[in-house]
Each structure stands twice: as structure tokens, then as C-alpha cells.
Structure 1
Amino acid sequence: TPVPLDENGKPYTLKNDELVLEEDPKGLEKVDENGNLKGGRDYRCRTFTITGRGDRLYMLSTEPARCIGFRDSYLFFQKHKLLYKIILRDEEKFDLIERDIMPHSYKGRTISVVTARSVFREFGAKIIIGGHRVIDDFYESKAIEEGAKPEDLASPEDVLPMNGEPYNKNQYVAWHGASQVYHQNAPMVGGRGDLSIKRRKVILNETNWLFEHAMSASNFNEMLTATRRHVLEEGGVEEAHTGLTFVPANTQPRRFKGELVP
């Protein structure tokens, strides 16, 4: 995966599968270099190690994306340029399949992961179970500058377990029905929200009607594009009654040339 450029147009330094960025001393007290959280904190998403990559913790990129509210990992990485996407090699995918981290049906797909530490650095308390602003953020000073307070829940809409039950991390896993998460708390993309999430109440008049129609069409096109990218990433759409997987026609050959061999 290409390394993104900094504000001066130079590539960021890559170390331990993540970009080298300015660190917060207080943030370093909450997570170690391998991504293990300290102080009793826990991630809202599943984490795992990858054979050949040491003891660093990783996440399947689709899971933190859905946890934060994105429909797919494409928008996730487009919106958050400081996350480095790692494409797994075949042997790494097969290892995750053997360890039941991914289903066998994913062996032919392009799978991307991201380090857990970089996800925590980017989202702070939002990726922590029951996370509170400031005290569970990596960049505390930045959170305070934004007006956050320690008593503020980072994700008040998140459903926390009761009576000591474990947190349901599988709610963000695709093969455990995570598709329903796509339609909850979707982030703003390109300055506009998904119309299926929150529809603005606008009174049309002779001044704004053309603009509002254009905005509506643009939002709908944006939704279609995101959905199509998701279908491509997931390898198609499974038809529930027959179990067949359908793929977009434009990804398949339209003609072939045969040659008789004497």
C-alpha cells in the first residue's frame, strides 16, 4: 500500500506497519508499542496477531470501520489518511482462516488489516469499550482543546453489556450480521450525510429548489458508489434462497475467443 504524504509533500516514515507520528506522553501510558491497552481498557473490535509480524495486534479493517460508523473500509481509509492499510499475503490469510479469525470463503478475497495501536491513536476513546473522552483518548490535550470532558462518553449510542456479560465484538464482524451496523450513526462523507440516516427538513421555494434537487441527487450517487464498493470488497452478494453468490457484471468477461486444436 502506498505511504501517504505529509503536509510538506513527503512520504511519512513507516515503522511497525504504521505511520510514525507525533506521540502524546499521556497516550503512551495507555497503550504499548504492540497495541496492548493498559489500565483495564479493551477494544470494541476483535484483535489478533499475524504470523511473521511479531506480537503486534491487528484488526480486520472492516471491523473498526463499522464500529466507527463507516459502511466499508474504503471510506474508512479515505477519510482517515493517517491509518496505514496492510494487504495480507495468501499465507497470512490462510493462517487467519486456520485460526477461525476469518471464514474459509474469504481465502480468495483481498483482505486488509490495520494495527490496533494506530486505530486507538486515531480514534481514542471511540474505539474503547465504555470509553470516556480525555481519560481514554490517546491525544488528551487535543481532546481538551475540542472541549471534551472526562465525564463525556465517546460513544453514548453504544450498547454496553449488563451484569458482567462480555461485550459483543462480533456485532462488527461481517459474517455475524454486521451489515445492520452500516445504517447506524453513519459519519459525514464529503460534508454530507447519508439520506437514509437523517433527512433534512427543507421547505422548497423558487430560490432553493434546484440546489436541493442537485444535493439530493449527489447524496444518492454517493450512497450508490459506497454500496457498489462494498459489494466489490465483499466479493459479491449472496442470494439467501439458493446460496449462490452474484457479482457485478462489469467485473466479468463479456466475450471469449476459442481456438480449435487439431
Structure 2
Amino acid sequence: MSHITDFLSSGKDVSEQMLGKGFEISNVKVSPDFQILYIFWTATEEQLDNGIQELLDTFAAPIRDQLSQLRVVGNVPKIIFVKDKYRSKLADINNILNKADYGEDFQPKYPSLLNTDHMKLSNPESAEKMALEDLNEMPPMRNDVFNVDHKRIMEDIEKAVQKSKALHRTTEAGSPIILGVGETATSQGPESENQEGPPVSFVEYMKSQKILRTKLRKEKLAELIELEGQLTDKLASRIDEDKFEEDYFDEDSDSDDEFEYRR
């Protein structure tokens, strides 16, 4: 649409003929089969409509040629100018209302009173603010979309992070200072005084981590052995109770058999 309006306003032998015609391009549409390009136009004065239509029809071929040279599309469809009836009717209604209110020869005494531009808000932000004030308060946002409680999940994640940062999960000596190969504790600058823990070499740090992992495994193994012993004791006591009940029922059955034999 911009290329078409540029050609009509500044094209050779076109702008001179269209000068003072009082029309504008309102819309551009392409047919479903891409064979026709409809250009809708509207005029400000009704008595010039017929002349504008005939003049625009003569410019259809040059405009198509210009669009082809721009390489906007591979094949430019046939151009047909069509009067925009909707906008033209609106313009006619406005003209009729103006004549009905003031008459054809009306000359405003105070033109500024008919200009509504001064009634517009000078700051667009104030208009946006007024529109937002009219809106009702937004309802609270849901956190269970697709039956997934996102709020509870985030709370669980935060709890897990807090647990990982607990004091009993950190080493007693704090974070050690790892020295590079060939470095010593005295080669560190004044920043080392603010760091926690004594300086250690990388080898010593890895050795301490290995000892710590071994200690944790031993503690875990001791807990498992203790738990296994408790389960074994419970199982043994359960077996003794079952054996006692079996012996008791065997004695009762023997006494009943002896009583029957004596009879």
C-alpha cells in the first residue's frame, strides 16, 4: 500500500494529474486466487468521484509495472481500482450533518471552538492511567494450572535449598583455601586473611575429602548393621513366640488323646 501511495503522489505525469482531486487510498486487498489486486479509494467531494475513477483506471498499468520493478512479489496481479463505499457513505453523512447544523454558507465566528484537538489529553500516559483506573481489580493468579501446584513445588525447592545450606552440612573448619602447584600459604595476599579456614594444598584437600567420604560411608554402614541387628532380634522373638504356641497346642492334643484312651 505504501508503494502505491508513493507512486500516486510522486510518480512522473501522475502527481500533476492527481493534484487537487481530494482522494485517498483506504485499503488494498488481493483476491483469493491471487489474480486481481483491489485498491479501494475514497474522495472528499462527491462531485469529483466519477472523474477520479476514470483517471485511476488509466494508472493501473503503470502502477503494476512499477510494482514489478520493485520485486515485491514474483507476479504482480491485475490492478483494479474500487471506490470504498463504506468510507464514502461516512463522508456523505458527515457533510449532510454539517449542512443541517450550520448551513452551506456557514462561516464560524470562533473557529477554535469547532476544533476538538484542544480537548485531547496532552499526555498520553494520563489517558492510559485513567483507563486503568476504570478497570476492576484483577483476580488472584492461579498456581494450579494443569492440576500442577507450582506454588507448593517452589516451596519444596526452597526448603531443600535451605536444608543444603544448614550448618551441620558444612565442615567445621569452613571452606578451605586451595593453593596451586608451587604456592605456599605465605604467598597469599592480604585477601587471604578474610577467607575462612586454614590454607591447604590441593592434594591435602582431596585427601581430606576422601577421608570425609570414607567416614560417612562407615557411619552409614554402622547404621545399617544396627538396623539389621534390630530386625534380626525382632524376627527371632517372633519365631520363639510361634514355636511356643505350637508346643502348647501339641501338649493339649496329647492330653486329650490320653483321656480318650483311658475311657
Per the TM superposition, whether the score is higher than 0.5 is: no
Higher helix share: 2
TM-score range, shorter chain: under 0.3
Question: What is the TM-score normalised by the length of structure 2?
Answer: 0.19
Q: Which has the higher contact order (CA 8 A, sep 6+)?
A: 1
Q: Larger Cα Rg: Structure 1 or Structure 2? A: 2
